[in-house]
A and B are shown apart, each in its own frame.
Chain A
Amino acid sequence: METVLTGLATGFGVALDPFNLFLVLAGCFAGTLIGALPGLGPINGVAILLPIAYGLGFGPESALILLAGIYYGAEYGGRISSILLNVPGDAGAVMTTLDGNPMARAGLAGRALSLSAIASFIGGTFAVILMSMFAPTLASFAVTFSPADYVALMVFAFASLASLVGKSTVKTMLGATIGLMLATIGIDANTGVPRYTFGLPDILAGIDFLIVVVGLFGMAELLTLVEHQISGKLKALPVDKSFVRMADLAKCKWTIVRASVIGFFIGILPGTGASVASAVAYGTEKRLSDKDKTFGTGDVRGLAAPEAANNAAAGGAMVPMLTLGIPGSGTTAILLGALLMFNIQPGPMMFVQRPEVAWGLIASMYIGNVALLVINLPLVGLFARMLTIPQHYLTPLIAILAFIGIYTIVGNPFDLLLITGLGVFGWFLRKLDFSLAPVILGFVLGSLFENNLRRALSISGGDWSILIADYKSITLYALALLVVIAPIWLARRARRMEGDATSETA
């Protein structure tokens, strides 16, 4: 507890520095604007702005605080297009449309927006508080992990990714493997042997992380926007003067608490993040409290549950990223890559070696949450106006921003071609139901996975049994097996019960 308090004191010392405070606010504001743009989710927003934030030349803690603010703000802003347009910005916001849009159509847009802002605030704050209590403990436990344990942890991360993300397990696996394969390009750090460089000097040091992120997310998103471009503007519902009432909050209070808990813990699971969390929270809430069958028609609880879960998961996903160096979602994978660019190895040692970064980030999330609530309640009308930006201005703007960002890093025009190529590849992957988060997770974790495996086998002198020599790794393999088998088993059981029900009625 004492480490938490001293840590928080350090963190607030960093985050309350006027410049950093300004960055939190600027990040939250920019993030909400980006999140509110129709079709542009948090991950794409962070991906497009990351190189620019890097190019500004701030210190690591400041740049990270700015990025976290953008990430947080975008999660907040996503609900605006969900509620007013019925167009979710990303997978995590799909559930928000189910009850949020009917409320707006019933003329309660203001009420829906303010309620979801409060639900998001509670979910987010809850997650940050749990995070600041758990993270140091988890980090001090993770210090004892051996390379073999790390290998087991990666296997667990990829197993939960494969079973929980995307429509097809095989495609998720393949996506992660593609990411891992992309990470092998470049000079092998242990032996100095170049791998898959084909003599191209541009990729001797490996494909730059930013290029993969901007290409796969930003540029692929741009192509998707061009593909879906609808002639004429989408019709945004107007924001009225209605506001959340105490009665709504009283009705939702347990919903919000339950959804926050669900969101936080699902967010912690590697690779899953907000989309799974909001879906599970909505499903649970529907089962528990949908007595009058009002869910889906504009029930306040159906709106509060996914919003609270969404933001709690955004916080939860930071826990494995900060303590283990294994990101809990696609967006935190990008933040992890950002840390690596500043030569900070996220993981258990970060709390000891770079407390100002770790705790500064956590403290900025406290501030960010409050700031978002304050920004969002009165300014929602302004953000809603972002929805009416026509696509034919938005699309070129994304490309221009992405190009500025990539060019400013090294000033190599070859990189611009590379992001275009990766964008086309990413568009195909998306089109064929591959999700892109596993690719980026694989890419970020690639060298960590390989190096730990090699280190473990170096310790044992080539004996593979070292991988299962420890209770920690065995537990992790068991957990990995569980996350793969449990959903299959549950689906079977559900189908059997359904079969029983139909045979009974027949």
Chain B
Amino acid sequence: MVDRIFAGVLMVVTLAYAVIAFTAISAPFQYDPLGPESWPRILSLVAITCLLVILWKPDATEMGVARQTWFRLGATVILLIAYSELYEPLGFILATILFGTALCAMLGAGIWRSILFGVATGVLGYLLCATLLDLNLPEGELYEAIAETFEKESS
């Protein structure tokens, strides 16, 4: 059943892919006989064939994931999305402290240990990656705003 649902969703996407390949993609002029549209057309046909076989003969029947696990997975994904959204506005250090603490606590560590873990990864991670390894990490809009006002004041 799960196989069929997943294959069905993929089928919708593949059909959309095929429709675009067969109607929308075309080059104003081209030198090679295939052009940009033939390869996606071939691929969409192969994918549709595979999907039809899976729809006809599915083999995975159930996911075997408990309801509680679904909640945990959903919460993890939400945390990840929140982390991505806050990455630039809050900056690496703050966003990582929040994310690390939240996920760590959700996965069963004590609250103080989670906070310690979050602060440690946020601060040490920034020092290690941005200062020592010279990688590009966001400082955060808040920090930038403060830095700007300081610059204005000093000038």
Q: Which residues of A contact B (CB under 8 A)?
A: 52, 55-57, 167-168, 170-171, 173-174, 177-178, 180-181, 184, 188, 190-193, 195-196, 219, 222-223, 226-227, 229, 231, 390-393, 395-397, 399-400, 403-404, 407-408, 411, 413, 416-417, 420, 423-424, 427-428, 431-433, 450, 453-455, 457-458, 461-462
- Tell yes or no: B31 within 8 A of A by CB: yes
Sample of 28 A–B contacts (CB below 8 Å): A55-B136, A56-B134, A170-B50, A171-B50, A173-B50, A177-B47, A195-B25, A227-B72, A390-B109, A392-B109, A396-B99, A396-B118, A399-B103, A400-B100, A400-B121, A403-B84, A404-B137, A407-B87, A407-B137, A408-B135, A411-B136, A413-B84, A417-B84, A428-B6, A431-B65, A433-B60, A454-B32, A462-B34
Give A408 to B136 CA distance when docked, in angstroms.
5
A229 to B73 Cα, complex, angstroms: 11
CB of A173 within 8 A of CB of B39, answer: no
Q: Are A404 and B84 in contact (CB under 8 A)?
A: no
Q: Which residues of B contact A184 (CB under 8 A)?
A: 39-40, 43
CA–CA, A392 to B104, complex, Å? 5
- Nearest-Cβ distance from residue B16 to partner chain A, whole angstroms: 10
* Residues of chain B from 10 to 67 with CB closer than 8 A to chain A in the complex: 10, 14, 17, 20, 25-27, 29-36, 39-40, 43-44, 46-47, 50-51, 53-54, 59-60, 63, 65
B side interface size, CB within 8 A: 65
Q: Are A396 and B103 in contact (CB under 8 A)?
A: yes
Asked whether A453 lies within 8 Å of B104 as measured between CB atoms, the reply is no
Query: Residue B81 at the A interface, CB < 8 A?
Result: yes
Contact B80 A457 (CB under 8 A): no
Residues of A within 8 A of B73 (CB): 223, 226-227, 427
State the CA gap A404–B36 with chains docked (Å).
35
Given contact pairs A400-B96, A400-B100, A458-B31, A196 touches B125 in the complex (Cβ within 8 A):
no
Q: A184-B40, A404-B137, A408-B135 are in contact. Are A399 and B109 (CB under 8 A)?
A: no
Q: Which residue of B51, B83, B121 is within 8 Å of A397 (Cβ)?
A: B121
In angstroms, Cα B34 to Cα A392, docked, is 52
Tell me whether chain B's interface is mostly helix, strand or loop, or mixed: helix
A420–B80 touching, CB < 8 Å: yes
With A191-B35, A193-B26 already in contact, the answer to whether A408 and B43 are too (CB < 8 A) is: no
Determine the chain B residues whose CB is within 8 A of the CB of A177 once the complex forms: 43, 46-47, 50
* Whole-angstrom distance between the Cβ of B111 and the nearest chain A Cβ: 12
Taking the closest CB of chain A, its distance from the CB of B32, in whole angstroms, is 4
Given known pairs A191-B35, A417-B81, A420-B77, the reply for A56 and B135 (CB within 8 Å) is: yes
Q: Which of A191, A416, A455 contacts B83 (CB 8 A)?
A: A416
Q: Is B147 an interface residue (CB 8 A)?
A: no
Nearest CB in chain A: distance from B29 CB, A:
8
Of A391, A396, A423, which one neighbours B121 at CB under 8 angstroms? A396
Q: Which B residues lie within 8 Å of A408 (CB)?
A: 129, 135-137
Central interface residue in A57, A395, A403, by most chain B CB within 10 Å: A403
Would you give the shortest CB distance from B44 to chain A, in whole angstroms? Answer: 8
Residues of B within 8 A of A457 (CB): 32-34
Across the interface, A407 reaches (CB within 8 A) one of B30, B59, B118, B136, namely B136
- Point out the residues of chain A lying under 8 angstroms from B69, CB to CB: 227
In chain A, what residue has the closest Cβ to B72?
A: A226
A461, B135: Cα distance in complex, Å: 49
Bound-complex Cα distance A52 to B107 (A): 26
Instruction: Please indicate the chain A residues that have their CB under 8 angstroms from the CB of B114 in the complex.
Output: 392
Contact A190–B103 (Cβ < 8 Å): no
**Is the pair B20, A461 in contact by a Cβ cutoff of 8 Å?**
no
- B39 x A404 contact (CB < 8 A): no
> Is there an interface contact between A191 and B107, defined as CB atoms closer than 8 Å?
no
B146 at the interface (CB under 8 A from A): no
B83 touches A403 (CB 8 A): yes
